[in-house]
Amino acid sequence: MGIARSSFSYWRAPAPARPARQAADATLAGRIRKVHQDSDGTYGVPRITWQEGDPDVLVIADAGYDAPRLAFLLKDLPVQVLARMRSDRVLHRAVPPRQPQTMGRPPRHGGEFVFGQPDTWGTPDTETLTDTRLYRTARARSWDRLHPRLTHRSSWATADGTLPVVEGTVIRLDIDHLPSGATPKPVWLWWSGTDATPADADRLWQAYLRRFDIEHTFHLFKQTLGWTSLKIRTPEAADRWTWLILAAYTQLRLARPLAADRRHPGEKPSLPDRLTPARVRRDFRHIHPQTTCPERNPPAPAPDGHRAEEHPAHTPPRRAHTQENTASRTTKEKANHPKAPPHRLKIKLDRHANKIVLPALRAPIQ
């Protein structure tokens, strides 16, 4: 059969344990299916693996990523890219149909679509208005088949030949209100798909906002709860650590009236009753001396029934900084620290010329 003896022996050695392993795998698969059914299709393998007939995977990124580049690299996969673009970008429309008897090379880019110039936008292909709880009215407009003008720079520097034209849909989202009270700014999104419907536009901008919830959730796990700072091995240990962190943050919230608002450069001032636990923690070194330690026993009462008054430790008064004190201190320092001996000169002897050379004098001595 052309099989080495060592390979056959390696396959035959675990043969007695193979049925038990297969039975364990079957049991585990049954448990996964049951969890998937009990959770209404939320957890389990079917939600992790993409199968034929499922909707395309939506990859959401922020403005620091090159969305057209990602869409070009993932064009052979069932993946769609949605990313935010800066408000100073300039895209191009699709090339209009070529008129008959037109001379010259056909253009590759159509008219400009400047984000900062509304007169270049034209009529949007879709427009929706949605009432939200946090942002009040959200207005979404989309323009179909817009693409950036690519150059051989950045991620396209090593591309050979003519660069492709990556078309997509641009969505502009305008809201009336921000929960923080700041002035809302428009959000520009670029989607790698085309021919977007009003339902697609609403689904895309809502999915982009949902990304912040997921990102801040992981930030909560890592930075606030500190799940990555310890080597937690069991779920019970993670629960205990989480409750300890929550208890500490509760103490910081209760210490708001005692803390001062110590802001970092660029932070806005906050009301005393709205200080976050992180800001209270910055002033903890000033709060700690004011708090009592529950381990210390209270001072014993005096024989007459009254508590003895606590007097602070006596410290001698500090001498005033006058010219006489300074002069006397200087005299004492000179007496205690005599003048150091002069530095020894390095002498170099020239045996051939019978001369002694002093480096400081730079002259020979006969």
85, β-bridge pairs: 188
pLDDT for 70: 93
Measuring CA to CA, which residue among 99, 97, 89 is closest to residue 120? 89
Are 280 and 262 spatial neighbours (Cβ–Cβ below 8 Å)?
A: no
- Structural domain boundaries in the chain: 21-50, 57-95+110-155+162-213, 235-264+271-289
Kindly report the number of other CB atoms within 10 A of residue 142's CB atom: 25
pLDDT for 365: 43
Q: Report the distance separating Cα 338 and Cα 331, nearest Å.
A: 11
- pLDDT tens string for the chain (366 positions)? 566 777 677 667 777 877 887 888 888 788 878 877 777 666 554 555 677 888 899 999 998 899 999 999 999 999 999 999 999 999 999 998 888 888 888 889 999 999 999 999 999 999 999 999 889 999 999 999 999 999 988 888 888 889 999 999 999 999 999 988 889 999 999 999 999 999 999 999 999 999 888 888 888 888 888 888 877 778 888 889 889 988 988 988 998 988 999 888 888 888 888 888 888 989 888 888 877 666 666 666 666 655 545 444 444 555 555 555 555 555 555 555 445 444 444 444 444 444 444 444 444 444
What's the pTM value of the predicted model, to 2 decimals? 0.59
What's the chain look like in SS3? CCCCHHHHHHHHCCHHHHHHHHHHHHHHHHHHHHHHHHCCCCCCHHHCCCCCCCCCEEEEECCCCCHHHHHHHCCCCCEEEEEEECCCCEEEECCCCCCCCCCCCCCCCCCEEECCCHHHCCCCCEEEEEECCCCCEEEEEEEEEEECCCCCCHHHCCCCCCCCCCCEEEEEEEECCCCCCCCCCCEEEEECCCCCCHHHHHHHHHHHHHHHHHHHHHHHHHHHCCCCCCCCCCHHHHHHHHHHHHHHHHHHHHCHHHCCCCCCCCCCCCCHHHCCHHHHHHCHHHHHHHCCCCCCCCCCECCCCCECCCCCCCCCCCCCCCHHHHHHHHHHHHHHCCCCCCCCCCCEEECCCCEEEECCCCEEEC
Q: Report the distance separating Cα 159 and Cα 156, nearest Å.
A: 5
